[in-house]
Structure 1
């Protein structure tokens, strides 16, 4: 209505001009000849509606959800098939955020005192599993997990990030908030986060002092460039190495750039002014690590700060220095391909083809992407993560069924162990997602567990490097990057199998009195108000639908194939599982046992571990 009102003057002008031209054509106003009626021009044909066929079969739906979530459920696949994937992703973008910090606080109410103990240190892990398995905002949770491996902080070890779960909880909330926002804003938020400042040692970073030889800490400045934004070498938009006129690779920065950038991140520390002096030490520390850092001008470098061709003038304050630095970093040409390639690796394929990287990098650069139904997402600002993740998931390389052989043969990724476990829990409708009662989930880094623990990589380089090429392997012989193979070895492969077998078969339900007493003793030592008997009912899978198919093993395998392997399981694997499981008698509890064996064999098969 507002637009219609604005156009009325223009319509009146056009009408007046039309009358003048009509009078002129008739030789003035003296003619009595009637004006012949003018037929209106034919209306243009209505455009054909754009049909989003992404979910046109159960196979396509299951495959998309495997890439975009912590794993599909059977009912979810059936419900979404023949609907619009564009609608699905828009709904995912709009779902509310459930923050981690309130849930961590709730867990800690079970602890009798505020001192650090094993239980309180694990509360961030508890909230991660709850979000990954039960969260409706599955795409956000997958993006948070992906970003946590790109912008790494880690609670591994016995430092503050291990002892103060609020630090990592607040960091996860930052990733939650910005998962569908802008990468530039995300870089700013993590720069002011106590977790990152502690992990990369610029907490309390002070300006240089020539008299004592003190220089600003360079750790964050180095990793901000090397790992969080542009990498070491210049990239083309398709992620391949750029070269100069002499056909040599181009190094993007040197140590002088790091020294200049390090000055930017001086004068940041915990916001002590917001601490309540009436609180005990542990309560104060928890609060200070769950709010943004404060600026301390007296500790900030007032000298000129130069890096990557940018000169920040002397006496520029902390906030302005950081803003200018991050804006300049985001303006670099390598940011889009560097970030885009790694995000592709975390969702769809470990070795993305250059044309795939370029298309996603263009969406990152332009800040916009057109969905299959014609709608656009993104705010037209470089670094838009909605546009980026949509470009990743809807790219022809991720969706087309008739890719060139070379592309198809190299497409796919190793499902990360954390995702495999969460997928099992989601696929089989696990009841009582209560990791606080399931001690094997408190620490899953070991080779006898998952070999991977969320938000706990061993270094700032993540669990594995994005450019990792496995030596002495078929993929290595083809120079394919497969990062996840860096944590798969002769120990972690059987370790994962045993770990999953314990959960799939309900090992927790078989805990005897002595084992329960040991768990209770641990709770009591940490003064945690928990009853170990709840462990018997924690993470209970519901195999009702699968048990109904236990006598029809081909039908059972068809269902598992859809839910777990996107109908990509080979005929040989299916037959092998059927032949093995058929040896188990169906009588008594045999039906459930058959189902459990079939699930374990599927979860540990190459058909499942390799997501194609």
Structure 2
């Protein structure tokens, strides 16, 4: 599989790593089977304390490997310090600590601090990619960043689609990410309202300036947001049981809404526009404020959808609030959103029982409140299906790590930093040369990939499984990812002045087996099998080791090969 020697250059390293990566990118393993329901574990994921034990001490000792696996699901990095913290606190208390951490400097404020609100930059996207990557890589609240990124792939906007907004796209997009971050541990109903009154969403799904029916011209309210609010952000297309399975009537799936429901709901999203009361379009400040209702443009007549009616004469604000209450009360919201969050954090194919358990928490937390995202995230990550090591051997468990997550896993695990605080990583959407993915740059409102995507003509399809992230995998993206990561690992110019800290690895460069073992833990939670680790060890051992440059070359090569290993690409 590996060449006898590795000279760390774009040609040989890409070929060597490509052999490994192609195993995970070919569309699935021939051994994939549908194993049905997962078995319950008895390892007490809630980590209750024993009598007489120190406060928050885990009832069952957590190994380094188990802690690393938990961090791979719950955060964006695995570090020695975080492993120890998980072992000392236990899973539940670690989550509590993360959720209680104060947010770091907002993306908006960072843009202002860098002078990106200068009028000359009004019509550019300058600074957005930098502020997005900076938070994802540098902010200490790893759980909040992971959940915010997951929500950005459910409640989707793209900076490229922010048109007709008076400019300041970078600030509109930055504030949208700040909004998701500020509410990712709050209530999903509140989040829906904040998203529905954000300037970014009003631009992306074109309801900014939406006006009521004009009998003279025949113009009707724009239906774009009404459709996607139901289809993608709340209830989905088909009626669901609480375990996420589709409701059938006479063997036919039942739809959740009709065209008439879209038309009725669209009437609610009329009359909304920028709040320019304390500023104008010459500054980006209006993007930080919720939309303002213009009564003359709002449809004041009755609006009916989902079997209920918004009465005539309500203000635009009241109509919006009532409509969101109707949507949020729909029984589909819990399984529809819960399943997608499980997919983003833990596994692409959660069992119906797993979805049902999380849906139950979504429907009612310990106080009986619906939509508590803090409780939902804990339920997902502490569930027996997420925590039991037995699932490591199941071919229907786990998920492909999306390219952004792989990059962030490397950057955060090795304390990558921009010495100049410029974070010039840029737009990494190009699949042939970069990651094929970049924060808030989805090609459509359907995200980079669909939650139900099935690779055609694959073992995954034959097993009736889904693999969402495989939708953005191609021959070009496989090679592009490897080459990009090879450059990033070695500190090449394509990531600005972003540099990782490998000081803790230098002493291991003379010991290939120890070096690869450390990387296996910190990147793959010890999931790379012995055949592949031995191949990587032998390749690293064949490289010269005469000076510090050689040691660094060994580290670069080992990192690149581990980042390309199938067991890293597939998170279990």
Separation of aligned partners in 1, 2:184 and 2:142: 12
Confirm or deny that 1:314 pairs with 2:321: no
Provide TM-score, normalisation by structure 1.
0.81
**Which residue pairs with 2:369 in the alignment?**
381
**Which residue pairs with 1:66 in the alignment?**
72
Stretches of 4+ aligned residues off by more than 4 angstroms? 46-51, 160-163
Separation of aligned partners in 2, 1:247 and 1:434: 61
Any gaps of 5 or more consecutive residues in structure 1?
A: 1-45, 369-378, 512-533
**How many angstroms does 1:130 deviate by?**
1.5
Separation of aligned partners in 1, 2:191 and 2:500: 37
Provide TM-score, normalisation by structure 2.
0.86
**How many angstroms does 1:112 deviate by?**
6.3
**How many angstroms does 1:176 deviate by?**
1.3
Of 480, 484, 497, which residue of structure 2 is paired with 1:495?
480
**Which residue pairs with 2:150 in the alignment?**
146
Separation of aligned partners in 1, 2:86 and 2:259: 52
Of 397, 412, 417, which residue of structure 1 is paired with 2:385?
397
- Give secondary structure in 2 for the equivalent of 1:311: strand
Of 446, 451, 454, which residue of structure 1 is paired with 2:436?
451
Separation of aligned partners in 1, 2:507 and 2:398: 33
1:498-520: CA deviation from partner (whole Å, max 9, x where unpaired): 00111111223xx9xxxxxxxxx
- Give secondary structure in 2 for the equivalent of 1:306: strand
Aligned residues: 517
Q: How does 1:212-611 map to 2 (within 5 A)?
A: 212-244=217-249, 246-275=250-279, 281-283=281-283, 286-368=284-366, 380-403=368-391, 408-432=394-418, 436=422, 438=424, 441-447=425-431, 448-508=433-493, 535=496, 538-588=497-547, 589-611=549-571
- Are the structure 2 counterparts of residues 416 and 145 from structure 1 closer, same or farther at C-alpha, using a change threshold of 3 Å? same
Confirm or deny that 1:90 pairs with 2:96: yes
Of 180, 186, 192, which residue of structure 2 is paired with 1:175?
180
Q: Is the 8 A contact 2:491 2:499 kept in 1?
A: yes
Q: How does 1:58-207 map to 2 (within 5 A)?
A: 58-98=64-104, 99-108=106-115, 113-116=119-122, 121-156=125-160, 159=163, 163-207=168-212
Separation of aligned partners in 2, 1:275 and 1:596: 50
**How many angstroms does 1:93 deviate by?**
1.2
1:38-75: CA deviation from partner (whole Å, max 9, x where unpaired): xxxxxxxx978796357611111111111111111223
Q: Is the 8 A contact 1:148 1:455 kept in 2?
A: yes
**How many angstroms does 1:207 deviate by?**
0.8
Separation of aligned partners in 2, 1:289 and 1:474: 46
- Give secondary structure in 2 for the equivalent of 1:272: coil
- Give secondary structure in 1 for the equivalent of 2:309: strand
**How many angstroms does 1:173 deviate by?**
1.6
Separation of aligned partners in 2, 1:404 and 1:498: 29
CA RMSD of aligned residues (A): 2.1
- Give secondary structure in 2 for the equivalent of 1:315: coil
Q: Is the 8 A contact 1:104 1:127 kept in 2?
A: yes
**How many angstroms does 1:185 deviate by?**
0.3
Q: Is the 8 A contact 1:130 1:433 kept in 2?
A: no
Q: Is the 8 A contact 2:391 2:397 kept in 1?
A: no
Q: Is the 8 A contact 2:98 2:141 kept in 1?
A: yes
